Amino acid sequence: MPELPEVETIRRGLARILPGKKIRWVKILAAKQFPQPAAAVNGRTIVAVKRKGKQLAIVFDNKQVLLIHLKLTGQLVYVPRLQSGQRAVFGHPIPFAGGDSLPGRSTRIIISLADASGHDAGTLFFNDVRMFGWLRLLSEKDWRQAMAELGADALSRQFNAAYLYKVLQSSRRAVKVVIMDQQKISGIGNIYANEALFRARIDPRRPANSLSRKESEKLCQAIKAVLQESLKMQGTSAADDAYIQPDGRPGRFQQKLAVYQRAGQKCLSCSGTVKRIELGGRGTFFCPQCQK
DNA sequence: ATTGGGACCTGCTCGC
DNA sequence: TGCGAGCAGGTCCCAA
């Protein structure tokens, strides 16, 4: 599922492609996911692609913003210009896109692009098997307000040990649930919450306000480290995971996962076994021997 | 106020 | 072999 490293990888990919391009037309196949008239963005030129937490923002020349949340299975795949009638075919299958060509079974929105002179400049496909993701066209003001409602981005300078300690002190919910609360810290989802807590050797069930300053610092460093390492490997395309980059390639950080989806397997740092429990209704993986 | 649980969705896996 | 139940999970919404 796209979390901070995956969404940032997508942002970087799109930032190389989209700025300077213009929207020719938009085809909305799932109105629920983009409940505005497609014509609202026609003719707009893209000036930037931004991100906070797990949300992407395509900024237009008129300051309006197309805010995108991929939720669990959303994909943004860019296909360069094709001959008319030709379908995009990749050298490797695109998970959940309905095969190795686009549009696929799970394509929900198609955005046709043009270069500055109005010629076809490729197509952006929004695929989403489970249809939880969404796109919204917002004014700059509404976008800023939506971003202000998110907690500090986990890779920003604003998110540091002191910030995390303060957040943790404010709740006695399980520490894992709290670090996944997007209103407190944005960008951390189930994979990296599990991985960061393992690296920091902290039991995910502990009440957030039971962590010392020292433990908060350790956890903060673990969060930053795991997010940065994953980003270097273009994110995690785990089993059952729809995440791919805009060019269709998967990420590689799944090779580095220490606990996520490793229930029953040997802990990588002790003789124990990775255990799976449920916390806040979500699968939680940890090593009961290492994590206290 | 905080917290827990269901709803939203689809495709895949599993058991009968 | 075929079918239905169960499961996965980010976020929102409601209820206790």
| Domain count of the fold of chain A | 2
Give the span between the Cα atoms of A138 and A146, in whole angstroms: 10
Question: Strand C positions with any atom < 7 Å from protein CB?
Answer: 8-12
3-state secondary structure at position A187: coil
* Structural domain boundaries, residue A84: 4-148
Task: Return the H-helix or E-strand segment holding A141.
Answer: helix A140-148
**pLDDT at residue A10, rounded to an integer:** 95
- Answer for A172: CB within 7 Å of strand B: yes
Residues A112 and A222 in one domain: no
Query: Same domain for A42 and A138?
Result: yes
Tell me the two tokens of residue A181. Answer: 């609360």
Pick the last residue of a domain from A116, A148, A180: A148
Q: Is A289 a domain residue?
A: no
Residue A269 within a domain? no
A19 is catalytic: no
Single-letter amino acid, residue A230: S
Q: Is A149 left (phi over 0), alpha (psi -120 to 50) or beta?
A: alpha
Question: Which parts of A200-259 fold into alpha helices (H)?
Answer: 213-232
pLDDT of residue A242: 83
Is the C-alpha dihedral spanning A56, A169, A191, A33 positive or negative?
Answer: negative
Q: Identify the three-state secondary structure at position A137.
A: strand
A177/B2 CA-to-C1' distance in Å: 13
Question: A185 — phi, psi (to 5°)?
Answer: -140, 135
Residue A179 CA and nucleotide B5 C1' are separated, in Å, by 20
**What is residue A154's three-state secondary structure?**
coil
**Within this chain, do residues A20 and A142 fall inside the same structural domain, yes or no?**
yes
Q: Which nucleotide in the DNA or RNA is closest to residue A177, CA to C1'? A: B3
Residues A58 and A180 in one domain: no
A226: CB within 7 A of chain B nucleic strand: no
Q: What is the pLDDT of residue A277?
A: 87
Does residue A194 contact residue A259 with C-beta atoms inside 8 Å? Answer: yes
Count of beta carbons in the 10 Å neighbourhood of residue A24: 16
- Helix or strand run (H / E) with residue A197: helix A190-199
List of chain A residues with pLDDT < 50: none
pLDDT at A237: 87
The helix/strand/coil state of A289 is coil
Residues A39 and A138 in one domain: yes
Together in a domain, A118 and A182: no
Preceding amide of A103 cis, omega within 30: yes
> Which of chain B's bases lie under 7 Å from a protein CB?
2-12
Same structural domain for residues A124 and A34?
Answer: yes
A62 assigned to some structural domain: yes
Same domain, A90 and A141: yes
Q: Which tokens hold the place of A80?
A: 């360069």
Residue A261 lies in a domain: no
Q: Per the residue annotation, which of A52, A54, A108, A218 is the catalytic one?
A: A54
Looking at the DSSP assignment, which residues form a beta bridge with residue A88? A102
pTM equals 0.95
Specify whether A134 is located in the same domain as A187.
no
CA of A23 to C1' of C2 (A): 47
Catalytic residue among A201, A224, A282, A288: A282
Active site residue A54: yes
- Characterize the bridge pairing of strands A22-28 and A107-114: antiparallel
Residue type, A35: P
Same domain, A120 and A143: yes
* Residues β-bridged to residue A152: A185
Residue A95 falls inside a structural domain = yes
CB burial of residue A26 (10 Å; 0-12, 13-18, 19+): buried
Radius of gyration of chain A (CA): 20
A103: exposed, middle or buried (C-beta count within 10 Å: 0-12, 13-18, 19+)?
Answer: buried
CATH of the domain at A191: 1.10.8.50
Q: Would you tell me which residues have their CB within 7 A of strand C?
A: A 1, 3, 53-54, 69, 71-73, 130, 132, 180, 182, 189-191, 240, 281-283
Residue A75 token pair? 């994909």
Instruction: Confirm whether A105 is a catalytic residue.
Output: no
A69 and A120 belong to one structural domain: yes
Amino acid identity, position A199: R
Does the CB of A278 fall within 7 Å of any strand B atom? no
Judge if A142 and A232 occupy the same domain.
no
CATH number for the domain spanning A29: value is 3.20.190.10
Q: Which nucleotide is nearest to A71 (CA to C1')?
A: C10
